[in-house]
Chain A
């Protein structure tokens, strides 16, 4: 889940509605309709359902004040899918990941109203991708599975995120600030995939971010496209080697240009931030790329945590510079800042 950029935007939750079978004669349109009807049977949900249905999802929009919506994605999975999924997460092995692929409905597919065999429907693999991402981002072998918990019916709130997850969050926020609703902005799946590929298990978020930004453009391949008669940019889907996430770039040049323009801007903004001395200077250089209110809130909570650290006796001072942190020879004793 990504926090919305400003308070007017919705928090968005994706829910995959996994069905292990269907009536033999149902087409994609039928399945979509059946799931929609089931949702409408609940009086509360019926009132919240967005009509008409979306391209692939049903959207449940909670009250305006809740700022929250949920996309329900009807999907057909193989029988015993849950067991296969749990085994795959336990092993954290992306070999045989294809068994986690699901079949979904899509209004823009030519066979939306005709094809009854799920094998002919659009295939995607969000759970396989999640396993790949977790494996790529994990720092330690055998640590508890954070992503798996995130995929439980209601994601648990997690304070600790993997450095790779934080970096992806920061990059998406920067993208949202820079393109503010533009159609041809770099898409999330491209950012996430390239960042994960560029990640070298740095445990520190700043190190991870700096390395990832430098390395991301190098993770894009070139492959010959018979359709175009030339080499095209290729960002392979890690759980489906045939899919190119950048498949729209050859025909929509603006998308490719925006991606490279964004990458250069992220690099520039980061270089600017790390050269600053003093929290007020850092604040100034962060405001444009990440948003004024967000940065101010972050500094407030940083400062509040400093106070809590000192009150709990955990704040220490380094020799020489006098820098504060959780290490150093001197413990900062309790005291009261006083007025005049």
Chain B
């Protein structure tokens, strides 16, 4: 359960809000499920990434980077801040902390966080450090596990 069902934003309204900001994107909306696909360029210096957002009623939205394999910083085994590195399933906020609830628009919360994740991913790939803040956990390096 995500938030109070009576305050859950209607899926059509969720879709409209996304379409307003990203008119050229690929969006499929039903009363219980929303799937959004779009190419995001997180800064004027950045590369472009294909993103898929899947949101099913009463669940948390899931965000994946699709169509390309994201490179890892030398020595790292996984991407930073992900649920699943293989599936490139991003971890954008703390569940249960109220940062995202079903009464919020995805276009104003989760979607900007995707851009932010991608931009910090590029900087992580350059420096080996995650500069975006968040709950700290140490990524295991190859030499430490070998």
With A322-B111, A330-B108, A338-B93 already in contact, the answer to whether A310 and B116 are too (CB < 8 A) is yes
With A279-B125, A283-B126, A324-B119 given, name 18 new contacts (CB 8 A): A279-B46, A279-B119, A300-B123, A300-B129, A300-B131, A303-B120, A303-B131, A304-B131, A306-B132, A317-B115, A321-B41, A322-B115, A331-B112, A333-B99, A334-B99, A336-B93, A336-B134, A337-B132
With A323-B44, A334-B99, A339-B91 already in contact, the answer to whether A279 and B123 are too (CB < 8 A) is yes
B112 lies within 8 A of A303 (CB): no
The residues in B between 31 and 57 inclusive whose CB is less than 8 angstroms from any CB of A are 38, 40-48
A315 lies within 8 A of B22 (CB): no
A338 lies within 8 A of B135 (CB): yes
A303 lies within 8 A of B123 (CB): yes
- 5 pairs, A vs B, C-beta closer than 8 Å: A320-B21, A323-B41, A335-B93, A337-B133, A339-B137
CB within 8 Å: A-B pair count: 150
Q: Say whether A247 faces chain B, with CB atoms less than 8 Å apart.
A: no
Q: Say whether A216 faces chain B, with CB atoms less than 8 Å apart.
A: no
Q: How far is the CA of A329 from the CA of B23 in the complex (A)?
A: 14
Q: How far is the CA of A332 from the CA of B83 in the complex (A)?
A: 22
CB-based closest 8 A-B pairs: A337-B134, A278-B47, A303-B131, A303-B123, A339-B137, A322-B40, A279-B122, A332-B112
Q: In the complex, how many angstroms separate the beta carbon of B75 from the nearest chain A beta carbon?
A: 15
With A279-B122, A306-B120, A322-B42 already in contact, the answer to whether A333 and B112 are too (CB < 8 A) is yes
Tell me which residues across on chain A come within 8 A of B91, comparing CB atoms.
Answer: 337-340
- Chain A: which residue is nearest B44 at the CB level? A323
Query: Number of B residues contacting the other chain (C-beta, 8 Å)?
Result: 54
A335 lies within 8 A of B127 (CB): no
The residues in B between 85 and 130 inclusive whose CB is less than 8 angstroms from any CB of A are 91-95, 97, 99-100, 107-109, 111-117, 119-120, 122-123, 125-127, 129-130
Q: Say whether A22 faces chain B, with CB atoms less than 8 Å apart.
A: no
Tell me which residues across on chain B come within 8 A of A300, comparing CB atoms.
Answer: 123, 127, 129, 131
- Chain B: which residue is nearest A337 at the CB level? B134
Q: How far is the CA of A37 from the CA of B84 in the complex (A)?
A: 72
A323 lies within 8 A of B42 (CB): yes
The residues in A between 287 and 340 inclusive whose CB is less than 8 angstroms from any CB of B are 296, 299-300, 302-304, 306-307, 310-311, 315, 317, 319-325, 329-340
Q: In the complex, how many angstroms separate the beta carbon of A301 from the nearest chain B beta carbon?
A: 9
Q: In the complex, how many angstroms separate the beta carbon of B103 from the nearest chain A beta carbon?
A: 14
A338 lies within 8 A of B81 (CB): yes
Q: How far is the CA of A339 from the CA of B94 in the complex (A)?
A: 9
With A303-B123, A322-B111, A336-B94 already in contact, the answer to whether A279 and B131 are too (CB < 8 A) is no
A322 lies within 8 A of B113 (CB): no
